[in-house]
Structure 1
Amino acid sequence: MDPGREATVAEYGRACLQLKSWLANATPSDLKRKSNGTRWTNEELLFHMVFGYMIVRSLLPLVRVMSRLPPSWGRGFAAALNAGTGPFDWVNYWGSRAAALVYDRHRMGRKLDTTITALAHRLERESPDSLARSMPFPTRWDPFFTADMTLADTYAYATKHFDFHAKQLSLRPPEF
């Protein structure tokens, strides 16, 4: 495996360890406490961090398809998504709140494990050409979406998202 892929997979493993540490060491009241700088509780924000990896699994086929279409189609698609940022923000917030009721402290660790295992296995099978495929992304949806992202960028995105939100948790730093 090349160094870029190894680094991405290593970051996935670190994120799993961090999440498991937070979940093992946080009390129920810690998880119900508000996070720093978001409207989510710590438990909701932890789920949202896991969701970043889940969404990458959905983005991978989209990048594969959009990268084969004329560039103007991808730019138009990204522009349409940017125009829908308001509804996206609403769904993103309320969706994470609701999903954290299902993928709570007892289930989100397993969900992250299975999601990351699937992502890592898929990443290992990608060819250099497939990892170079790209498409425009809606830059207003997330600070880590850039105007054009490769498949390799998309795999790495989830950990950037995870690390960004980890700083907003009002939990003790993970112990591992």
Structure 2
Amino acid sequence: MPGWRAQATAADLRRTSDGTPWTNEELLFHMVFGYMIVRALLPMVHVISRLPTPVGTAFAAVLNAGTRPFDVVNYWGSRGAALVYSRQRMGRKLDRTITAITRRLERESARSLTRSMPFPDR
């Protein structure tokens, strides 16, 4: 287990995080979940980056329109999930997810890695 996870005490994880309404444990899950989302969305990005720019722009606009409900689900989901995912489980999930993302990106061609697409700005 990497040092930062091994050094965090139960009290450290229960403490409110600076600058957020979450505890450190809830914030940790939020970050792990972000990597899980990136992994799940890579195939979609792979497809959308090959479509005409207006398609990507429209998709980004749809995602922007859903920002408010997403924020509510994101906030409460991270609060609830931190109750279910222990520090060890989060650590294992993060390690597996980063490994999978890394493997996926290592298989991409240089040309593929230069593609871009519009992303939501909110």
TM-score when normalising by structure 1? 0.65
Corresponding position: 1:31 with 2:13: yes
Provide the aligned length of Structure 1 versus Structure 2: 122
Which of 92, 107, 114 pairs up with 1:132?
Answer: 114
Aligned to 1:71: 53
3-state SS of 2:117 partner: strand
Contact 1:35 1:42 in 2 (8 A): yes
Listed as ranges, the gaps of 5+ residues in structure 2 are none
Deviations 1:20-76 (A, max 9, x none): 323211221221111011111000111112222211112211111112222111111
Shift of 1:101: 2.2
Deviations 1:123-161 (A, max 9, x none): 111101111222111110xxxxxxxxxxxxxxxxxxxxx
Q: CA RMSD in A?
A: 1.5
Distance 1:89 1:22 in 2: 28
Distance 2:23 2:86 in 1: 12
Deviations 1:65-102 (A, max 9, x none): 11222211111110111121111111111111122223
Which of 61, 66, 87 pairs up with 1:105?
Answer: 87
- What amino acid does structure 1 have at the position aligned with 2:89? R
More helix by share: 2
Aligned to 2:74: 92
Contact 1:47 1:108 in 2 (8 A): yes
Listed as ranges, the gaps of 5+ residues in structure 1 are 1-16, 141-176
Map 1:29-68 onto structure 2 (within 5 A): 29-68=11-50
Q: Percent identical across equivalent pairs? A: 72
| Mean CA deviation greater in 65-74 or 33-42 | 65-74
Contact 1:78 1:138 in 2 (8 A): yes
Structure 1 runs of 4+ with >6 Å offset: none
